[in-house]
Every structure is written in structure tokens, then in C-alpha cells.
Amino acid sequence: MAHEVVRNGARGLQMAILIPSLGFARFDSRGELRLAERLKDFLEENAVGWRNLPVGPLNRHPDFIIVHPANGLLVLEVKDWRLETIVSADKTKVELLTSRGVVRGEQSPRAGSPIHV
């Protein structure tokens, strides 16, 4: 699997490893690409990030999994929503203002499943 060691041009420091590298990764939204670029630029050199890696017995595919030896594990699911389009949101549901009007999304009954709109 392809990976890249990213260098910070200003200071020349080695930075995080992203797997697959940005050149090989496929993104479902512009928000996922933007976050990948930020992770590449700002994670420390000893952090490793994976994109769309199957996890657990149900083979869930979170958008990003970041492992850092000092800070632990971070699992991220990206929602490419703009603040002005969020009508309301809580732990189990969200309402978004779209070109079709207000759209409601709810978390499925399985614990930890993402909200789909």
C-alpha cells in the first residue's frame, strides 16, 4: 500500500505518515479531502493516519484513524456540512437545510452507527 512521508517546507521537519498517500486516496467529499490535507500538514512526525480502513467485526470504514504514541487513537467520521445549513442537531438526529428543503437524518438503532442524511 502506498504511503508518503510529508515534509514541512518551512522547517524541513519530517511529518506524519498518511496511508494511502493523498495521491492514491479516494475521497467521498471535499470535506474529507480538506481534512486529509490538514492532517498531512499539522500532525506530528510520529503520528500515522489511515484512510477508510475496515475496522471491527462489522468492517466499518471510518474516514480516518489516527494513531499517536503519546496521545493515543482518534477515529474520525467527516460530515461535509456548513454551519449555516445545520437547522438542529443532537446525539441521535440532525436537520439540514438543503436545496430540497429541510432534510432530517437519524442514527440507526445500532449503537455507534453514523447519522445518515
pLDDT value at residue 109: 55
pTM score above 0.75: no
pLDDT tens for residues 57-90?
999 899 999 999 999 999 999 988 889 999 999 8
Residue 107: is its pLDDT beyond 60?
Answer: yes
Q: What is the pLDDT of residues 10-37, one digit of tens each?
A: 444 566 888 988 888 888 889 999 999 9
What does the alpha-carbon distance between residue 103 and residue 99 come to, in Å, rounded to a whole number? 9
Beta partners for 73? 67
Q: Is the peptide bond before 20 cis (omega within 30 degrees of 0)?
A: yes
What SS3 class is residue 41?
Answer: helix
Task: Give the pLDDT score at 13.
Answer: 55
